[in-house]
Amino acid sequence: MLKFVVVDDEPLALEILDGYLKRINNVHSVAMFSNAVAALHHLENNAADVLLLDIEMPEMTGIEFLKQLSDPPLTVFTTAYRHYAFDGYELGVIDFLLKPVSFNRFSQAIAKITEFLSLKEQNLNLEDITAGETRDFIFVKSGVKRIKLAFNDVIYIQGLKDYAIIYTPTEKIILKGSIKAMLDIFPQDRFIRVHKSFIVSVYKIKRLEKNHILLSGHQIPIGRNFKDNLEKRLNAK
Protein backbone atom coordinates (compact mmCIF):
# COMPACT_ATOMS: atom_id res chain seq x y z
CA MET A 1 0.00 0.00 0.00
CA LEU A 2 1.54 3.28 -1.16
CA LYS A 3 1.52 6.78 0.31
CA PHE A 4 1.27 9.45 -2.39
CA VAL A 5 2.04 13.16 -2.39
CA VAL A 6 0.71 15.16 -5.35
CA VAL A 7 2.01 18.67 -6.09
CA ASP A 8 0.46 20.79 -8.85
CA ASP A 9 -0.58 24.45 -8.90
CA GLU A 10 -3.49 23.72 -11.28
CA PRO A 11 -6.72 22.75 -9.43
CA LEU A 12 -8.01 20.77 -12.42
CA ALA A 13 -4.79 18.72 -12.61
CA LEU A 14 -5.05 17.91 -8.89
CA GLU A 15 -8.68 16.88 -9.35
CA ILE A 16 -7.83 14.57 -12.26
CA LEU A 17 -4.91 12.89 -10.47
CA ASP A 18 -6.98 12.51 -7.30
CA GLY A 19 -9.69 10.81 -9.34
CA TYR A 20 -7.15 8.47 -10.94
CA LEU A 21 -5.66 7.52 -7.57
CA LYS A 22 -9.11 6.63 -6.25
CA ARG A 23 -9.28 4.02 -9.03
CA ILE A 24 -5.95 2.41 -8.02
CA ASN A 25 -6.06 -0.52 -5.58
CA ASN A 26 -2.77 -0.17 -3.71
CA VAL A 27 -3.17 3.42 -2.44
CA HIS A 28 -2.83 3.90 1.32
CA SER A 29 -3.14 7.68 1.44
CA VAL A 30 -2.94 10.78 -0.74
CA ALA A 31 -1.77 14.27 0.28
CA MET A 32 -2.63 16.94 -2.32
CA PHE A 33 -0.86 20.32 -2.55
CA SER A 34 -1.29 23.30 -4.85
CA ASN A 35 1.49 25.13 -3.00
CA ALA A 36 5.03 23.80 -3.48
CA VAL A 37 6.36 25.32 -0.24
CA ALA A 38 3.66 23.62 1.82
CA ALA A 39 4.35 20.32 0.02
CA LEU A 40 8.07 20.63 0.75
CA HIS A 41 7.36 21.18 4.43
CA HIS A 42 5.06 18.12 4.46
CA LEU A 43 7.72 15.87 2.88
CA GLU A 44 10.35 17.06 5.34
CA ASN A 45 8.16 15.79 8.18
CA ASN A 46 6.23 12.87 6.69
CA ALA A 47 7.18 9.70 4.84
CA ALA A 48 5.91 9.11 1.30
CA ASP A 49 6.42 6.36 -1.26
CA VAL A 50 5.53 8.24 -4.44
CA LEU A 51 5.66 11.90 -5.46
CA LEU A 52 3.60 13.13 -8.43
CA LEU A 53 5.21 16.47 -9.25
CA ASP A 54 4.34 19.24 -11.68
CA ILE A 55 7.31 21.20 -13.05
CA GLU A 56 6.21 24.73 -13.90
CA MET A 57 4.84 26.21 -10.66
CA PRO A 58 4.95 29.80 -9.35
CA GLU A 59 6.70 29.31 -5.97
CA MET A 60 9.44 27.05 -7.35
CA THR A 61 9.80 24.69 -10.26
CA GLY A 62 9.41 20.96 -9.76
CA ILE A 63 13.10 20.62 -10.59
CA GLU A 64 14.05 23.07 -7.82
CA PHE A 65 11.62 21.30 -5.50
CA LEU A 66 13.16 17.89 -6.10
CA LYS A 67 16.71 19.16 -5.63
CA GLN A 68 15.79 20.36 -2.13
CA LEU A 69 14.78 16.88 -0.97
CA SER A 70 17.67 14.95 0.59
CA ASP A 71 15.93 11.60 0.10
CA PRO A 72 13.03 12.05 -2.34
CA PRO A 73 10.32 9.42 -2.82
CA LEU A 74 9.99 7.68 -6.17
CA THR A 75 9.07 10.62 -8.36
CA VAL A 76 6.90 10.97 -11.45
CA PHE A 77 7.02 14.29 -13.29
CA THR A 78 3.64 15.50 -14.60
CA THR A 79 3.99 18.35 -17.07
CA ALA A 80 2.67 19.82 -20.31
CA TYR A 81 6.22 20.33 -21.61
CA ARG A 82 7.97 17.43 -23.30
CA HIS A 83 11.44 19.02 -23.21
CA TYR A 84 11.65 18.46 -19.43
CA ALA A 85 12.06 14.71 -19.98
CA PHE A 86 15.86 15.06 -20.07
CA ASP A 87 15.84 16.85 -16.69
CA GLY A 88 13.78 13.98 -15.34
CA TYR A 89 16.42 11.46 -16.29
CA GLU A 90 19.12 13.66 -14.75
CA LEU A 91 17.21 13.75 -11.46
CA GLY A 92 16.43 10.04 -11.46
CA VAL A 93 12.64 10.20 -11.75
CA ILE A 94 10.97 6.87 -12.40
CA ASP A 95 8.53 8.15 -15.05
CA PHE A 96 7.46 11.23 -16.99
CA LEU A 97 3.77 11.89 -17.70
CA LEU A 98 2.84 14.39 -20.40
CA LYS A 99 -0.36 16.36 -19.78
CA PRO A 100 -3.18 15.81 -20.46
CA VAL A 101 -2.51 12.47 -18.72
CA SER A 102 -4.78 9.58 -19.68
CA PHE A 103 -5.79 7.03 -17.06
CA ASN A 104 -4.19 4.28 -19.16
CA ARG A 105 -0.82 6.05 -19.19
CA PHE A 106 -1.17 6.87 -15.48
CA SER A 107 -1.82 3.19 -14.74
CA GLN A 108 1.36 2.25 -16.61
CA ALA A 109 3.38 4.59 -14.36
CA ILE A 110 1.84 3.06 -11.23
CA ALA A 111 2.59 -0.44 -12.57
CA LYS A 112 6.24 0.57 -13.13
CA ILE A 113 6.47 1.85 -9.56
CA THR A 114 4.84 -1.28 -8.14
CA GLU A 115 7.16 -3.53 -10.16
CA PHE A 116 10.25 -1.63 -9.01
CA LEU A 117 9.25 -1.86 -5.34
CA SER A 118 8.40 -5.54 -5.68
CA LEU A 119 11.67 -6.46 -7.39
CA LYS A 120 13.62 -4.40 -4.88
CA GLU A 121 12.28 -6.62 -2.08
CA GLN A 122 14.01 -9.65 -3.62
CA ASN A 123 17.30 -8.29 -2.21
CA LEU A 124 19.50 -9.60 -5.02
CA ASN A 125 23.27 -9.09 -5.14
CA LEU A 126 26.03 -9.69 -7.65
CA GLU A 127 28.85 -11.99 -6.61
CA ASP A 128 32.34 -10.54 -6.35
CA ILE A 129 34.70 -10.97 -9.29
CA THR A 130 38.41 -11.43 -8.74
CA ALA A 131 40.40 -8.49 -10.14
CA GLY A 132 41.63 -9.23 -13.66
CA GLU A 133 39.34 -12.22 -14.07
CA THR A 134 37.78 -12.55 -17.54
CA ARG A 135 34.39 -14.18 -18.05
CA ASP A 136 31.25 -13.93 -20.14
CA PHE A 137 28.85 -14.06 -17.21
CA ILE A 138 28.31 -13.30 -13.55
CA PHE A 139 26.17 -14.89 -10.87
CA VAL A 140 23.31 -13.07 -9.15
CA LYS A 141 22.81 -14.19 -5.56
CA SER A 142 19.39 -14.52 -3.96
CA GLY A 143 19.84 -16.01 -0.49
CA VAL A 144 21.52 -19.37 -1.10
CA LYS A 145 20.51 -19.41 -4.79
CA ARG A 146 22.89 -18.40 -7.59
CA ILE A 147 21.45 -17.30 -10.94
CA LYS A 148 23.72 -17.10 -13.98
CA LEU A 149 23.55 -13.80 -15.90
CA ALA A 150 25.31 -13.75 -19.27
CA PHE A 151 26.78 -10.37 -20.20
CA ASN A 152 25.59 -10.93 -23.77
CA ASP A 153 21.98 -10.95 -22.53
CA VAL A 154 22.19 -7.52 -20.88
CA ILE A 155 20.76 -4.70 -23.00
CA TYR A 156 21.30 -1.82 -20.60
CA ILE A 157 21.52 -0.86 -16.93
CA GLN A 158 19.63 2.01 -15.33
CA GLY A 159 20.50 3.66 -12.03
CA LEU A 160 17.52 4.67 -9.90
CA LYS A 161 18.01 6.02 -6.38
CA ASP A 162 20.41 3.54 -4.68
CA TYR A 163 19.63 0.69 -7.07
CA ALA A 164 20.61 -0.57 -10.50
CA ILE A 165 18.03 -2.10 -12.85
CA ILE A 166 19.51 -4.61 -15.31
CA TYR A 167 17.41 -5.08 -18.44
CA THR A 168 17.57 -8.30 -20.48
CA PRO A 169 15.22 -9.45 -23.28
CA THR A 170 13.21 -11.57 -20.83
CA GLU A 171 13.44 -9.92 -17.39
CA LYS A 172 14.53 -7.06 -15.15
CA ILE A 173 16.91 -7.59 -12.25
CA ILE A 174 17.13 -4.94 -9.51
CA LEU A 175 20.27 -4.80 -7.40
CA LYS A 176 21.32 -2.69 -4.46
CA GLY A 177 24.19 -0.51 -5.69
CA SER A 178 25.05 2.59 -7.69
CA ILE A 179 25.45 2.84 -11.45
CA LYS A 180 29.15 3.57 -10.82
CA ALA A 181 29.50 0.27 -8.96
CA MET A 182 28.09 -1.53 -12.01
CA LEU A 183 30.88 -0.06 -14.15
CA ASP A 184 33.41 -1.87 -11.98
CA ILE A 185 31.65 -5.20 -12.52
CA PHE A 186 30.49 -5.21 -16.15
CA PRO A 187 33.34 -5.52 -18.70
CA GLN A 188 34.28 -2.18 -20.26
CA ASP A 189 34.94 -3.73 -23.66
CA ARG A 190 31.23 -4.60 -23.84
CA PHE A 191 29.54 -1.77 -21.92
CA ILE A 192 29.75 2.02 -21.88
CA ARG A 193 28.24 4.70 -19.70
CA VAL A 194 26.19 7.09 -21.86
CA HIS A 195 24.40 9.09 -19.16
CA LYS A 196 24.53 9.80 -15.45
CA SER A 197 21.88 7.07 -15.00
CA PHE A 198 22.53 4.64 -17.88
CA ILE A 199 25.07 2.07 -19.04
CA VAL A 200 24.42 0.31 -22.37
CA SER A 201 25.78 -2.71 -24.17
CA VAL A 202 27.85 -1.47 -27.10
CA TYR A 203 26.75 -4.50 -29.14
CA LYS A 204 23.04 -3.80 -28.65
CA ILE A 205 23.13 -0.25 -30.08
CA LYS A 206 20.99 -0.07 -33.23
CA ARG A 207 21.13 3.65 -33.96
CA LEU A 208 22.66 6.80 -32.51
CA GLU A 209 20.57 9.96 -32.80
CA LYS A 210 21.10 13.52 -31.55
CA ASN A 211 20.23 13.08 -27.89
CA HIS A 212 19.43 9.40 -27.52
CA ILE A 213 20.34 5.84 -28.49
CA LEU A 214 18.02 3.22 -29.92
CA LEU A 215 18.76 -0.34 -28.86
CA SER A 216 16.59 -3.45 -28.98
CA GLY A 217 13.33 -1.54 -28.75
CA HIS A 218 14.52 0.86 -26.02
CA GLN A 219 15.33 4.59 -26.24
CA ILE A 220 18.10 5.74 -23.91
CA PRO A 221 19.12 9.39 -23.36
CA ILE A 222 22.69 10.53 -23.98
CA GLY A 223 24.15 12.80 -21.31
CA ARG A 224 26.03 15.88 -22.49
CA ASN A 225 29.17 14.86 -20.60
CA PHE A 226 29.20 11.38 -22.16
CA LYS A 227 28.45 12.13 -25.82
CA ASP A 228 32.03 12.70 -27.06
CA ASN A 229 33.33 9.51 -25.46
CA LEU A 230 30.42 7.51 -26.89
CA GLU A 231 31.03 8.77 -30.42
CA LYS A 232 34.76 8.01 -30.16
CA ARG A 233 34.00 4.52 -28.93
CA LEU A 234 31.55 3.79 -31.73
CA ASN A 235 33.85 5.23 -34.40
CA ALA A 236 36.64 2.98 -33.13
CA LYS A 237 34.57 -0.20 -33.55
Q: Which CATH superfamily is domain 2-120 in?
A: Response regulator (3.40.50.2300)
Residue boundaries of the structural domains of the chain: 2-120, 125-235
Residue 189: closest CA among 130, 129, 134, 150 = 134
DSSP string, 77-136: EEES-GGGHHHHHHHT-SEEEESSPPHHHHHHHHHHHHHHHHHHTT-BEEPP--TT---S
Q: Do residues 182 and 162 lie in contact, with contact meaning Cβ atoms separated by under 8 Å?
A: no
For 208-219, give the secondary structure using H, E and C: ECCCEEEECCEE
**Is the sign of the CA dihedral 93, 186, 152, 175 positive or negative?**
negative
User: What pLDDT is stored for residue 92 in this prediction?
Assistant: 85
User: What pLDDT is stored for residue 134 in this prediction?
Assistant: 64
Beta strand 74-79 with 95-98 is parallel
User: What pLDDT is stored for residue 129 in this prediction?
Assistant: 60
Q: Do residues 19 and 44 lie in contact, with contact meaning Cβ atoms separated by under 8 Å?
A: no
How many angstroms separate the Cα of 225 from the Cα of each of 31, 125, 228, 235? 37, 29, 7, 17
Query: How is domain 125-235 classified at the architecture level of CATH?
Result: Beta Barrel (2.40)
User: What pLDDT is stored for residue 140 in this prediction?
Assistant: 87
User: What pLDDT is stored for residue 133 in this prediction?
Assistant: 58
Indicate the residue type of 135: R
User: What pLDDT is stored for residue 32 in this prediction?
Assistant: 97
**Spatial separation of the C-alpha atoms in residues 230 and 237, rounded to whole Å:** 11
User: What pLDDT is stored for residue 68 in this prediction?
Assistant: 94
pLDDT tens by residue, the chain, 237 residues: 899 999 999 999 999 999 999 999 999 999 999 999 999 999 999 999 999 999 999 989 999 999 999 899 999 999 888 777 777 777 889 999 999 999 999 999 999 999 999 988 877 777 766 545 567 888 888 767 788 899 999 999 999 988 999 999 999 999 888 888 888 889 888 999 999 999 999 999 988 888 889 987 888 999 889 988 898 888 765
Indicate the residue type of 131: A
